[in-house]
Structure 1
Amino acid sequence: MYLKEDDTLLFIGDSITDAGRDRADATSLGNGYVHAIAQSLRDRANNGPGGIPGPSPRVINKGLNGNRVYDLESRWATDVTELRPTVLTVKIGINDTWRRYDRQLPSPVAEFEACLDRLLADAARTLAARLVVITPFLLPVTPEQESWFDDLLPRRDAVLRAAAGNGAQVVRADLVLTRAARDREAARLAPDGVHPSPLGHRLIADAWLAGAGAL
């Protein structure tokens, strides 16, 4: 997928996307992978032909801490449709798994998949936006987290099916971070197993740029 200078890139998801953004500032991108992507795109634009700085795509961060897929649906009209993105990236799923284990709040995979499919189909239909989906991931740092894969792996597969069914490009954050963890401690990439470190965010950003961010 190629990006254009006048594209509007919108990222929506949970705390991994939110990454501490200032919600009172519509231009705030947080300090995670969305910020890293935007910075890389600006750097590319500023090093264009002849060394003349050029425009770069507009980037919007609509991540919210704690969100599950149903939370995205409740705010989809205002946080996605009304903003008219031309490239929409969705990163969701880990809280749908996590809440099952820490709050006994289930998110059946079939219902999760149906909800995500509705959201992607709506964006494709009403916005004609190019779609990108980032897979949920987990880098266990406690023995208890190992059991989460019983829920997360079927959910990841549901994400892949919803993406394929709606023509979305997939960024396999789960594979990127799992491979990176072969050479270093998982906690260096995600101290609590879920929320990426600066290095973890950089790896996600690089994977997005490699797969979806060509100018």
Structure 2
Amino acid sequence: MSTERQTSKDAVSENALSTTPQRPAPAAQDATGSGGVSIFAAQIATALGANVIATSSKDENLQAVKALGAVAGVNYRTHPEWAEEVLKLTDGKGVDLLLDVAGGDGINQSIAATKAGGRIAQIGFLTGQTSALNLMPMIFRQTTFRGIAVAPRSSFDRMNAFLNEHRIRPVIDHVYPFEQAREAYEHLATGAFGKVVIKVGKD
């Protein structure tokens, strides 16, 4: 849930994408469809020149993310071993940087989808806070794993300047008045594409 303006959570995406100076080709992984943070990450990465691969459980959401600049999409419902599809799209190499909002046991798929020496930015745990992590692939692939909870003010300021420069705007799924907050959360649970906004105040 967010306001119509960029939130500090969106700065997490910018902060995650800045974990590497090479500005690589990341895969934005989203386990619940295509939420606001994942969409912002895809938009920012595309503006940086990265080749974005998105994942979602809905084909229509993948098409929508591709319309925003992603080069490919993988439906993890129809492809439970979605890392294999990512490897096919990257000539067997895997992605440089993977943003994971899912957590849970899906982390093993994230490691498999990341290239040797690649990086994973964990920015959520929508499918679980714990996982049965297989350490062997992570060790031999020399994967760098970084957890990101919140971004500093500097990332927020840098993100806003970047969004203005590249004319990136948040994708708003629906705006609810404060009195319909319950309905807003119910709509969010259905897997909304983009941000679900609760408007506080009359202006």
Q: What TM-score comes out, normalization by structure 1 length? A: 0.41
Structure with greater helix percent: 1
Q: What TM-score comes out, normalization by structure 2 length? A: 0.43
Structure with greater strand percent: 2
